């Protein structure tokens, strides 16, 4: 995939103020509504829970070909080797692994909350440049609209490539859930997350995403925290939550980012 909006390519040499200004431009460009050609209902996983492994590229879980008209869903995740970022992309059609690529780039700045894309974005774009597939939607391990300036990693990547993206984060960066999240939520629960005073580019009360409970223990006293899901670009908050729920596959993480996480760790171990 090629960069569509080079103006938004993350530049780690910018000052903090310049990075934040660029994020405001990205947020103004981003589309947080459904603006895509794929059928979200067709993204749902098929077949038994024994999903295709990374070594079974091109084969569905039941050995049958997956219909070619099914949307392509890419998962993106990162790992780090010293001061280098490893970005891994795994592309799925249903449970079939179509393609996987990775790239390794220097992580030129430390982690700063709200500026993750300037640390990891270069490696992600390099990985996308290696991709032969043209994904219909991309799941990014990071925030989308749930961000101080509505321009998290998923939004930054989505706008730069002009591809529909969904942010799948493990922790809430900002915003206020309409219900408490520090309790055991049943599988399938969705808690709306609204903009608050920390989100400077959206009016208070604006729906910016959901806490989505993709998996939960039924009998254990322990509980699994929900995922924080938000639209990145060209996907609405509701559709983003639908897509993550439809691809969870019995795990907390949706299959695209779960397999990308595994692939990133495998690459890290090799290098």
Query: Shortest CA distance to 120 belongs to which of 134, 133, 130, 106?
Result: 106
Token readout for 26 is 């990205």
Bridge partners (DSSP) of residue 78 are 87
141 is in an annotated binding site: yes
Query: Shortest CA distance to 142 belongs to which of 74, 76, 238?
Result: 76
| CA dist., res. 151 & res. 171, Å (int) | 16
> CA Rg, the chain, in Å?
18
- Phi and psi torsions of 18, nearest 5°: -70, -40
Q: Within a 13 Å sphere around the CA of 68, how many CA atoms are in the beta-carbon half?
A: 1
Token readout for 69 is 């008209």
Annotated binding site: 77, 141
Annotated binding site for Mg(2+): 77, 141
């Amino acid at each position: 995939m090629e960069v569509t909006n080079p103006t938004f390519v993350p530049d780690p040499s910018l000052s903090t103020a310049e990075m934040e200004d660029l994020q405001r431009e990205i947020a103004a460009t981003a589309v947080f509504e459904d603006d895509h050609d794929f059928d979200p209902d067709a993204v749902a996983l098929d077949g038994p829970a024994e999903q295709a492994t990374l070594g079974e590229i091109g084969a569905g879980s039941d050995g049958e070909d997956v219909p070619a008209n099914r949307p392509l869903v890419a998962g993106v995740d990162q790992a780090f080797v010293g001061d280098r970022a490893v970005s891994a992309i795994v592309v799925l059609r249903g449970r079939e692994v179509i393609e996987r690529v990775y790239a390794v780039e220097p992580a030129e700045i430390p982690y700063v909350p709200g500026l993750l894309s300037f640390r990891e974005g270069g490696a992600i774009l390099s990985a996308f440049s290696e991709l032969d597939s043209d994904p219909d939607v991309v799941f990014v391990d990071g925030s989308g609209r749930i961000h101080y300036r509505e321009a998290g990693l998923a939004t930054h990547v989505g706008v730069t490539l002009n591809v529909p993206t969904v942010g799948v984060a493990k922790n809430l960066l900002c915003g206020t859930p309409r219900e408490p999240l520090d309790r055991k939520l049943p599988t399938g629960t969705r808690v709306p997350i609204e903009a608050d005073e920390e989100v400077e580019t959206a009016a208070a009360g604006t729906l910016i995403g959901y806490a989505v409970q993709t998996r939960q223990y039924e009998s254990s006293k322990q509980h699994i925290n929900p995922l924080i899901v938000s639209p990145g670009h060209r996907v609405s908050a509701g559709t983003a939550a639908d897509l993550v729920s439809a691809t969870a596959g019995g795990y907390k993480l949706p299959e695209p980012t779960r397999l990308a996480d595994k692939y990133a760790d495998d690459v890290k171990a090799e290098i």
